[in-house]
Amino acid sequence: MPQSPSTPAGHTPCTVAAVIVTCNRLAMLKTVLDHTLAQKFSAVVVVNNASQDATQDWLETQTDPRLHCLHETVNSGGAGGFARGMEYAAHHTDCEWMVCFDDDAWPQPDALSVFQSLPLPPAVGGVAAAVYFPGGAVCDMNRPGLNPFTSGRGLLRLLKSRKPTFAIDPSSYRQSKPLPVDYASFVGFFVRSDLVRGPLGLPQTDLFIYADDTLYAWKLRCLGRKILFVPAVRFNHDCKTTVSFARNRWKIYYIVRNRILFYKKIAGSLFLPFAPLLLLSILKLYWKNRTVPHIRALMLAGLRDGFRNDTSRKHPSIVTLAGES
């Protein structure tokens, strides 16, 4: 792994608030908070997204003065949870930066100190951490990416490669210098608080889950601010499985709809030439999960709403469409 940079002489560490969204994963949340509170975050905001387990009771017994617990009565998904936590951190703490992560992810022991040692000019609005599985392998689902649609040549290379992902190569994790990227996930994503209070605003809540983070990061890039992938800032993500539909079949709808919305946004006028490759990736998703009940209805609804830019469908109706209400 890359070496941590040394702190420049006279450099004053910035204040950073952690924003964590949790729902019904108390055992994992305890682990995450142990790792997080062991570091010098100025505040730790936990959004309890309407958990039905003992999460609220346990959080109310915690005494660390940096801990701010927001107990929601309705589960607004990751998008709504992060929007709620980021708004709170921006307006109710003194943080200069905030960092987002899930209730199954946590900063490695030196993550915060390494981040605070970075000389970040005002043009840098976001920093993406290197995310690993606890065993040390790169966590593919959290690899930042580059937009290939900046030129026709880039799109041509993408079409020839037949890859539906624009993520940076895992070899980038072994370099020492930061790498400019165009989007990143909310596991170890740092953003300036003044941007959240100002032109960047909050994540798009009606996305519910999936692509709320990558679209948010892309919005930051569209504001003219840079995002740096910093290999020396490391997080763990204990997601033991990839996306599974054994439970929560409704996730299929959001994966399809929000994937289309993301690609439409970053591709712009080049979306139509790319659409066949996108549809191929969705077809592969269908074929891999074709035995999942109601998958056809969920995918067709996701396709229709994605191409129409329609995010008005409410979560309870999607759960009903999945036969899980």
Residue of 104, 134, 132, 87 whose CA lies nearest to 24: 104
Mean pLDDT, residues 177-186 taken together: 95
pLDDT score recorded for residue 163: 60
pLDDT above 90 for 73: yes
- Of 245 and 264, the structure prediction assigns the larger pLDDT to 264
pLDDT band at 12 (very low <50, low <70, confident <90, very high): confident
pLDDT score recorded for residue 5: 52
Mean pLDDT, residues 170-196 taken together: 95
pLDDT above 70 for 134: yes
pLDDT score recorded for residue 82: 98
pLDDT score recorded for residue 246: 72
- Of 10 and 232, the structure prediction assigns the larger pLDDT to 232
pLDDT band at 263 (very low <50, low <70, confident <90, very high): very high
pLDDT above 90 for 313: yes
pLDDT score recorded for residue 93: 96
pLDDT above 80 for 152: no
pLDDT one-digit tens code per residue, 267-305: 888 888 888 888 988 999 999 999 999 999 999 999 999
pLDDT above 60 for 164: no
Mean pLDDT, residues 80-90 taken together: 98
pLDDT score recorded for residue 165: 64
What whole-number distance in Å separates Cα of residue 213 and Cα of residue 211? Answer: 5
What whole-number distance in Å separates Cα of residue 118 and Cα of residue 14? Answer: 10
pLDDT above 70 for 191: yes
Mean pLDDT of the chain: 91
Q: Exposure string (b/e) for 237-252, b if CB count within 10 Å is 16 or more?
A: bbbeeeeebeeebbbb
Q: Please say whether the beta carbons of 169 and 282 come within 8 A.
A: no
pLDDT above 60 for 1: no
Task: List all residues 6 or more positions away from 43 whose beta carbon is below 8 Å from its beta carbon.
Answer: 17, 18, 66, 68, 89, 93, 94, 95
121 CB-contact burial (10 Å; exposed 0-12 / middle 13-18 / buried 19+): exposed
pLDDT score recorded for residue 159: 63
pLDDT above 80 for 98: yes
pLDDT score recorded for residue 269: 87
CATH annotation of 16-237: 3.90.550.60
- Of 2 and 61, the structure prediction assigns the larger pLDDT to 61
pLDDT above 60 for 241: no
pLDDT score recorded for residue 95: 97
Mean pLDDT, residues 253-259 taken together: 96
pLDDT score recorded for residue 189: 98
Residue spans of the domains in the chain: they are: 16-237, 251-321
Q: What is the dihedral of CA 54, 56, 57, 63, to 10 degrees?
A: 130
What does the block give as tokens for 229? 């992938």
